[in-house]
């Protein structure tokens, strides 16, 4: 393994193995670092002029499993990681320049790098590309100072199979129409959208010609600067899923912008314990067919967390293509016959929901010696006649309903007898468009 | 087709914030739904206006692309 150094004040003497002999071009060191495990250190406040203000569109090519670390220049050959932040960068601070990072089939780690582009003619930051590549960007600052809405910050823009992890990333945008485009399997921890620059109308999109991955798991992000804008924008060429956990959201946030394709080929978003305030333990999920979110205003009084799940369906769902909540579970410690059920509420009307509008679906292990689940529900039979769902515990068991409401329940349709100990799982399914349903996300027997 | 009408329903949460459901309708009666959350004191009307404006732009773009075969 070898260390290579890059600094504006280096002598540019091969093999670039000390700060004194540092390369004066980042690509020179990247090319020299040809063995797996090599490290390239670039002086955080001494980026060579040709890299700090690149003359044209520039692709930095990585040639093996290497690491690129922003560092203090010790004068010897030690590496002290120091992030560039907003004072130093690779790219261009005044002119539109596309900056691309390329590694085909390699594992790349970077630390503390700032990539910047500017100008008014669209120029993008393509911060990971290359088929079969695996990227870890630690403490990066992706600075799009370009003011054109056509400029993007992206992880791949082509038919590339990639994984990208970002640790404490900062994303800064130069126009409200810009966004972060992901065509990869991505995991972020921490980080933020900068309050400097412009606030994207919708932060994320997964557009790609032939995506090699369309997921993002992001924990601990500060997205408050988005305000009332959307987290996930319209997706017309991919079917992404975004998981947000313990993130700080904007004041009037929407998880999902209006989707062109009103079905689950569009984007969908999960939000676990995310809020724009000081309320904890909330859950939300949205797709083009509907959404479900924690509601602390109306809830089953005996429920565990003083919150219900509020389902809102769009015009796109139907009995045949319904909206389905995520599954929730309850541990079952008996092997006796039971009919699990979930309490539901219709607020604003005393009319019962029918079994073609709302039903429950349950999953249990009813075959001994197998982990395979079996399913049961109280859904109207295909081409059948709708019937009212059963009455629930009554309005007296709910808090916050308007007084004009209906209390009901959905169940497994018939008794089930678990053959194995473990979780019974349930989800609530809504086949009626444009309605609101409250449920207590607790399986009862 | 531009949005010609809308409804807004909300439920007040324990912390005073609101859970909002905005349903917007174009000239053909097609419904578009947007849900959002707002803290107490938040200017919901501005959010509604911006959402409708954004959807109108989205619909116009989609309609244009369909017309020219994009």
B contacts of A310 (beta carbons < 8 Å): 11, 19
The answer to whether residue A27 scores a pLDDT higher than 80 is yes
pLDDT for res B70 = 64
Question: Across residues A400-406, what is the average pLDDT?
Answer: 96
Q: What is the mean pLDDT of residues A282-286?
A: 96
Inspect the interface and report whether the beta carbons of A277 and B39 lie closer than 8 Å.
Answer: yes
In whole angstroms, what is the distance from residue A267 CA to residue A244 CA?
Answer: 14
Bridge partners (DSSP) listed for residue A23: A6
Joined together, the tokens standing for residue A214 give 């369309």
Minimal Cβ distance to B36: which of A253, A277, A315: A253
pLDDT tier, A346 (very low <50, low <70, confident <90, very high otherwise): very high
Query: Does residue A214 surpass a pLDDT of 90?
Result: no
Question: Which residues are A72's β-sheet partners?
Answer: A80
Residue B12: strand, helix, or coil: strand
Tell me the C-alpha to C-alpha distance, in Å, between residue A73 and each of A76, A87, A138, A377.
8, 16, 19, 66
Nearest residue to A251 via CA among B26, B9, B11, B47:
B47
Cβ atoms of residues A344 and A374 within 8 Å: no
Three-state DSSP state, A406: strand
| Residues A197-223, mean pLDDT to the nearest whole number | 85
- Residue to substitute from B33, B40, B49, B55, interface A, most A β-carbons within 10 A: B33
pLDDT in tens, A130-147: 989 999 999 999 999 999
Could you tell me what percent of chain A has a pLDDT over 90? 90
Half-sphere exposure of residue B61, counting CA atoms within 13 Å on the CB side?
Answer: 9
Q: What is the mean pLDDT of residues A15-19?
A: 97
Contact A293 B35 (CB under 8 A): yes
Looking only at Cα atoms, what is the longest distance across chain B?
Answer: 50
Contact between residue A445 and residue A340 where contact means Cβ atoms under 8 Å apart: yes
Q: Is the dihedral of CA A245, A248, A252, A254 positive or negative?
A: negative
Mean pLDDT of A30-55: 98
ipTM score for this prediction: 0.89
Q: Is the pLDDT of residue A159 over 80?
A: no
Q: How confident is the model at residue A208 (pLDDT cuts 50, 70, 90)?
A: low
* Gap from B50 CA to chain A (nearest CA, Å): 9
- Three-state SS string over A307-345 comes to CEEEEEECCCCCCCCCEECCCEEEEECCCCCECCEEEEE
Distance from CA of B57 to the nearest CA of A (A): 11
Query: Residues in chain A whose beta carbon is closer than 8 A to a beta carbon of chain B?
Result: 201, 228, 234, 249, 251-255, 257-258, 260, 276-279, 286, 290-291, 293, 295-298, 306, 310, 312-315, 347, 400, 433-434, 436
Residue A303 has pLDDT above 90, yes or no: no
Name the token pair of B65. 């692309």
Q: Do A258 and B19 touch (CB under 8 A)?
A: no
Are the C-beta atoms of residues A40 and A15 closer than 8 Å to each other? no
**Contact between chains at A315 and B33 (C-beta distance less than 8 A):** yes
Return the pLDDT at A405. Answer: 98
């Amino acid at each position: 393994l070898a260390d290579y150094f890059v600094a504006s004040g280096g002598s540019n003497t091969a093999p670039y193995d000390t700060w004194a002999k540092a390369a004066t071009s980042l690509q020179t060191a990247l090319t020299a670092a040809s063995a797996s495990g090599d490290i390239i250190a670039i002086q955080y406040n001494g980026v060579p002029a040709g890299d700090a203000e690149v003359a044209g569109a520039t692709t930095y090519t990585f040639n093996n499993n290497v690491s690129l670390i922003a560092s203090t220049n010790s004068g010897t050959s030690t590496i002290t990681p120091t992030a560039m932040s907003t004072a130093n960068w690779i790219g261009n601070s005044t002119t539109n320049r596309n900056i691309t990072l390329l590694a085909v089939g390699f594992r790349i780690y970077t630390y503390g790098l700032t990539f910047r582009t500017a100008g008014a003619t669209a120029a993008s930051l393509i911060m990971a590309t290359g088929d079969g590549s695996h990227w870890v960007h630690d403490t990066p600052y992706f600075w799009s100072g370009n003011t054109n809405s056509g400029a993007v910050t992206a992880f791949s823009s082509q038919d590339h199979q990639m994984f990208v992890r970002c640790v404490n990333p900062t994303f800064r945008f130069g126009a409200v129409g810009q966004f972060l485009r992901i065509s990869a399997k991505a995991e972020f921890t921490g980080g933020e959208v900068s309050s400097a620059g412009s606030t994207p109308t919708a932060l994320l999109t997964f557009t790609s010609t032939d995506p090699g991955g369309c997921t993002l798991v992001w924990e601990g992000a500060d997205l408050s600067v988005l305000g009332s804008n959307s987290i996930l924008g319209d997706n017309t060429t991919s079917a992404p899923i975004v998981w947000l956990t313990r993130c700080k959201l904007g004041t009037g946030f929407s998880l999902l912008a209006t989707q062109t394709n009103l079905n689950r080929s569009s984007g969908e978003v999960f939000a676990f314990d995310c809020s724009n305030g000081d309320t904890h333990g909330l859950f939300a999920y949205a797709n083009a067919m509907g959404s479900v979110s924690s509601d602390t205003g109306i809830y089953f009084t005996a429920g565990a967390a003083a919150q219900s799940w509020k389902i809102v369906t769009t015009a796109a769902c139907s009995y045949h293509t319904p909206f389905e909540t995520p599954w929730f579970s309850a541990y079952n410690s008996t092997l006796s016959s039971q009919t699990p059920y979930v309490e539901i509420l219709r607020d604003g009307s005393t009319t019962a929901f029918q079994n073609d509008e709302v039903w429950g679906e349950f999953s249990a292990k009813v075959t001994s010696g197998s982990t395979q689940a079996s399913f049961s529900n109280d859904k109207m039979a295909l081409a059948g006649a709708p019937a009212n769902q059963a009455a629930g515990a009554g309005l007296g068991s709910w808090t916050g309903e308007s007084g004009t409401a209906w209390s009901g329940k959905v169940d497994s349709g018939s008794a089930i007898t678990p053959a194995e100990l473990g979780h019974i799982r349930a989800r609530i399914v809504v086949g009626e468009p444009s309605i609101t349903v409250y449920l207590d996300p607790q399986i009862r027997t | 087709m531009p949005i010609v009408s809308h409804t807004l329903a909300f439920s007040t949460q324990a912390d005073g914030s609101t859970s909002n459901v905005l349903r917007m309708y174009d000239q053909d009666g097609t419904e578009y739904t947007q849900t959002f959350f707002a803290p107490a004191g938040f200017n919901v009307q501005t959010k509604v206006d911006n959402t409708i404006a954004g959807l109108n732009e989205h619909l116009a773009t989609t309609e244009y692309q369909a017309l020219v075969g994009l």
